[in-house]
């Protein structure tokens, strides 16, 4: 019985580490989606006078960084214009898997371990005071 346990323990630990990372990643993705949509509605739907798209992206990214407070999670925001005055905001979440909360190396034997990424996009019509469409 001890031999079977010793043989199965590394496999069980690997499955547990993968399961914990998958569930943690799914949780971060769900929180990121909600936070990104809220931030776009707050900062992009009605920008301040003289505030450009770049300033809005910086505000959204700062809000996401405050809410996603972890070492292995990062967010980036970009925007581009689409037709009829609408602006498309796109945000990417990057998650680096961990070993039960402990950091992992970014490469093993010369092979780089990729980060998991999740992208969300939202198109809004930015209100411009005094401008008639």
- Residue 77: C-alpha distances to residues 45, 59, 84, 126 (Å): 15, 9, 22, 16
Asked whether 88 and 123 are in contact (CB, 8 A), the reply is: yes
pLDDT tens per residue, range 37-85: 999 999 988 888 788 888 999 999 999 999 988 888 999 999 998 777 7
On the question of pLDDT at 133 being above 60, the answer is no
User: What would the two tokens of residue 76 be?
Assistant: 């980036």
Asked whether 23 and 39 are in contact (CB, 8 A), the reply is: no
pLDDT tens per residue, range 91-118: 999 998 877 666 666 776 677 778 899 9
On the question of pLDDT at 130 being above 70, the answer is no
pLDDT tens per residue, range 111-127: 777 889 999 999 998 77
Parallel, antiparallel, or unpaired: how do β-strands 73-81 and 86-95 relate? Answer: antiparallel
The residue among 131 and 98 whose pLDDT is bigger is 98
H-state helical runs in the chain: 2-43, 53-67
């Amino acid at each position: 019985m001890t031999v079977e346990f010793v043989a199965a323990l590394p496999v069980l630990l690997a499955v547990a580490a993968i399961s914990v990372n998958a569930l943690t990643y799914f949780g971060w993705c769900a929180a990121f989606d909600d936070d990104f949509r809220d931030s776009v509605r707050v900062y992009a739907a009605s920008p301040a006078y003289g505030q450009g798209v770049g300033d809005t992206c910086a505000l959204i990214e700062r809000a996401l960084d405050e809410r996603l407070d972890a070492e292995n999670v990062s967010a980036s925001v970009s925007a581009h214009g689409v037709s009829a005055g609408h602006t498309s905001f796109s945000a990417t979440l990057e998650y680096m898997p961990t070993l039960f909360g402990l950091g992992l190396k970014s490469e093993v034997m010369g092979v780089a371990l990729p980060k998991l990424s999740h992208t969300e996009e939202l198109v809004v019509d930015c209100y411009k005071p005094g401008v008639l469409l």
